[in-house]
């Protein structure tokens, strides 16, 4: 398996008439150059026109939709010789066996993609969940992000995945964003760029392609593109300084893929309601010509309502390819898409060199992913391999490094085992791991339900925690009126230590002026609660920083270091 930072440095010149040699990276040995060139040219010549068109498409494979769905995917692979699959829910062993079968049926081995931003868990519940991007954005040591994405690459390869559609580089400036939110590294361009680079390098140094997304920037929307078409209405200067800035910063970092969003951006596309993913002005004019990106350009999923409600299946694929995309993700009608693209080629509505350009980029990427010599994967012990103690240790280390201390008046933290604390858990999620970990590590903790807070002696030290439901990345961060009222009452009578096991945006509705100690743990799961318990008792250093602007008093970068004892 070759290391991926070497790929995609210079694929082709800006002149349409190019030679095959222009597809090769410049920093390889002459022997490697010759081998890559030979395989790409030989494979390209071996393909019929229909097979070349097939390389442009990726379709979805689910293992929880029954045999009829699986058979339909099998037929598409056999009949259309598509370029790849995106693995969806939910059985790792079944995925491996099907991928092994389908790769055998493919004349050119397929790119196997997955949305695995926080590990395989995003699609496979039996895998171990790793932290969300917002948590990673709070981590100051970006080598931990590299370590995490390296682990994701290791797991991905075990199930046959060679392309992780990650990282998200959207700058989340809108707290009401329903689809990015926790998936963004934060609201600051510099932090997003540094975090995304570490993530992408961790993948590609370990043989899995990355794809930065969602170009030209999905961070300031209050609409979910899975449901309808979001509009980003900023002017050019703002778009260049914020939304597009991480993409521009990462253009020369040899990241193998860019995913284009289903967004309407009037400042970039003057045709009313035309999404970025089918806009030639955006994909070709900006991403390819202005930003000089020469790697693989892939659409966001074409089944999303933002585009699927506007265009017919197949027609959408042809529009996306004409705009400049190399790969149509989650195609809903490959056969029709191929036919319509060929019609456009025949009429010279799409120049013929475009197909050669895209197919050779795809083939060269496949070569450097090792698909010219692909070996089947083994499903025998897969669940133990993608969910074990190594994952838990890594996750807890990252959560510990992300934990952010905002206030610590009176030095209430770290907790002292010689003192007694009351614990009042609020909100809807489980808190038992945090409570039991504190007890296990020697803390004197008395649990009180919200209905029992009247029995807490005046001026006690009270640990109040918001335990938010983090079962998905899309759960709302809002704190209930009831919890807000309880916290306010507690702050009047006690020395409160507030910790948010959830998004830092939860603090938008909280007056922390009378709360002496405030921390954010970002997520509510066993690993984050164990890490927080250790840190609260002084066993690990606290040195995370807020990755987002919460409000005027809580800006991105806010945080206090607390050394371990």
Which tens digit of pLDDT belongs to each residue from 484-516? Answer: 999 999 999 999 999 999 999 999 999 999 999
The DSSP secondary-structure symbol of 283 reads I
E strands along 427-472, which residues?
444-447, 461-467
Which of 283, 281, 259 has the alpha carbon at shortest distance from 268? 281
pLDDT at 13: 31
Residues in the chain: 565
Pairing of strands 517-520, 404-408: antiparallel
Buried b (16+ CB within 10 A) or exposed e, 77-98: beebbbbbbbbbeebbbebbbb
Q: CA torsion sign, 431 to 433 to 434 to 437?
A: positive
356: which 2 tokens?
Answer: 């050669």
Residue 304 CA to residue 322 CA, distance in Å, equals 19
pLDDT at 90: 85
CATH 3.20.20.300 matches 30-386: yes
The DSSP secondary-structure symbol of 239 reads I
Residue 392 CA to residue 408 CA, distance in Å, equals 29
pLDDT at 11: 37
Residue 205 CA to residue 446 CA, distance in Å, equals 48
129 contacts 119 by C-beta, under 8 angstroms: yes
Sequence ranges of the domains in the chain: 30-386, 403-537
pLDDT at 36: 87
30: which 2 tokens?
Answer: 């002459």
Residue 56 CA to residue 450 CA, distance in Å, equals 57
Per-residue pLDDT in tens (0 to 9) along the chain, 565 residues: 444 433 343 333 332 333 332 233 445 677 877 888 899 999 999 999 999 999 999 999 999 999 999 999 999 999 999 999 999 988 999 999 999 999 999 999 999 999 999 999 999 999 999 999 999 999 999 999 999 999 999 999 999 999 999 999 999 999 999 999 999 999 999 999 999 999 999 999 999 999 999 999 999 999 999 999 999 999 999 999 999 999 999 999 999 999 999 999 999 999 999 999 999 999 999 999 999 999 999 999 999 999 999 999 999 999 999 999 999 999 999 999 999 999 999 999 999 999 999 999 999 999 999 999 999 999 899 999 999 999 999 999 999 999 999 999 999 999 999 999 999 999 999 999 999 999 999 999 999 999 999 999 999 999 999 999 999 999 999 999 999 999 999 999 999 999 999 999 999 999 999 999 999 999 999 999 999 999 999 999 999 999 999 999 999 999 999 999 8
pLDDT at 28: 60
CATH 3.40.50.1700 matches 403-537: yes
């Amino acid at each position: 398996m070759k290391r991926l930072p070497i790929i995609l440095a210079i694929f082709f010149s800006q002149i349409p008439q190019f030679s095959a040699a222009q597809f090769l990276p410049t920093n390889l040995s002459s022997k490697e150059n010759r081998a890559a060139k030979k395989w790409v040219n030989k494979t390209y010549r071996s393909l019929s026109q229909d097979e070349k068109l097939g390389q442009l498409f990726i379709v979805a494979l689910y293992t929880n939709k029954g045999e009829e769905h699986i058979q339909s995917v099998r037929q598409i692979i056999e009949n259309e010789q598509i370029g790849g699959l995106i693995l969806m829910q939910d059985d790792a062993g079944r995925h491996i066996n099907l991928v092994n079968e389908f790769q055998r049926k493919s004349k050119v081995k397929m790119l196997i993609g997955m949305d695995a931003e926080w590990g395989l868990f995003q699609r496979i519940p039996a895998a171990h969940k790793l932290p969300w991007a917002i948590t990673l954005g709070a981590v100051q040591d970006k080598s931990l992000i590299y370590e995490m994405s390296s682990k994701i690459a290791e797991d991905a390869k075990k199930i046959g995945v060679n392309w992780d559609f990650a990282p998200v580089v959207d700058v989340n400036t809108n707290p009401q964003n329903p689809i990015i939110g926790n998936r963004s590294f934060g609201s600051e361009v510099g932090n997003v760029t540094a975090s995304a680079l570490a993530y992408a390098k961790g993948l590609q140094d370990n043989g899995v392609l990355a794809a930065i997304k969602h170009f030209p920037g999905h961070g300031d929307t209050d609409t979910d593109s899975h449901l309808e078409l979001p509009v980003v209405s900023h002017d050019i200067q703002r778009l260049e300084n914020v939304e597009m800035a991480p993409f521009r910063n990462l253009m020369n970092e040899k990241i193998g893929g860019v995913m284009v969003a289903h967004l309407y951006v009037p400042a970039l596309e003057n045709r009313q309601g035309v999404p970025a993913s089918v806009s030639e002005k955006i994909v070709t004019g900006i991403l390819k010509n202005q930003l000089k990106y020469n790697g693989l350009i892939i659409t966001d999923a074409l089944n999303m309502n933002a585009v699927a409600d506007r265009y017919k299946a197949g027609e959408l694929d042809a529009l996306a390819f004409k705009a400049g995309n190399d790969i149509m993700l989650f195609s809903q009608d490959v056969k029709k898409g191929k036919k319509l693209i060929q019609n456009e080629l025949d009429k010279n509505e799409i120049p013929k060199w475009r197909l050669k350009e895209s197919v050779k980029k795809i083939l060269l990427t496949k070569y450097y992913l090792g698909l010219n010599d692909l070996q089947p994967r083994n499903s025998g012990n897969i669940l133990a391999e993608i969910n074990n103690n190594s994952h838990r240790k890594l996750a807890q280390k990252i959560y510990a490094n992300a934990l952010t201390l905002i206030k610590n008046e009176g030095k209430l933290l770290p907790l002292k085992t010689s003192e007694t604390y009351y614990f009042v858990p609020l909100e809807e999620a489980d808190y038992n791991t945090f409570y039991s970990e504190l007890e296990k590590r020697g803390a004197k903790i008395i649990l009180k339900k919200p209905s029992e807070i009247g029995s807490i002696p005046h001026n006690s030290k009270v640990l109040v925690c918001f335990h938010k439901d983090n079962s998905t990345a899309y759960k709302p961060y809002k704190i209930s009126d009831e919890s807000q009222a309880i916290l306010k009452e507690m702050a009047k009578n006690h020395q409160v230590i507030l910790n948010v096991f959830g998004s830092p945006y939860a603090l938008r509705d909280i007056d922390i002026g009378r709360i002496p100690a405030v921390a954010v743990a970002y997520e509510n799961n066993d690993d984050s609660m164990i890490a927080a318990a250790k840190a609260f008792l002084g066993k690990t250093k606290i040195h995370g920083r807020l990755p987002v602007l919460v409000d005027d008093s809580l800006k991105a970068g806010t945080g206090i270091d607390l050394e371990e004892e």
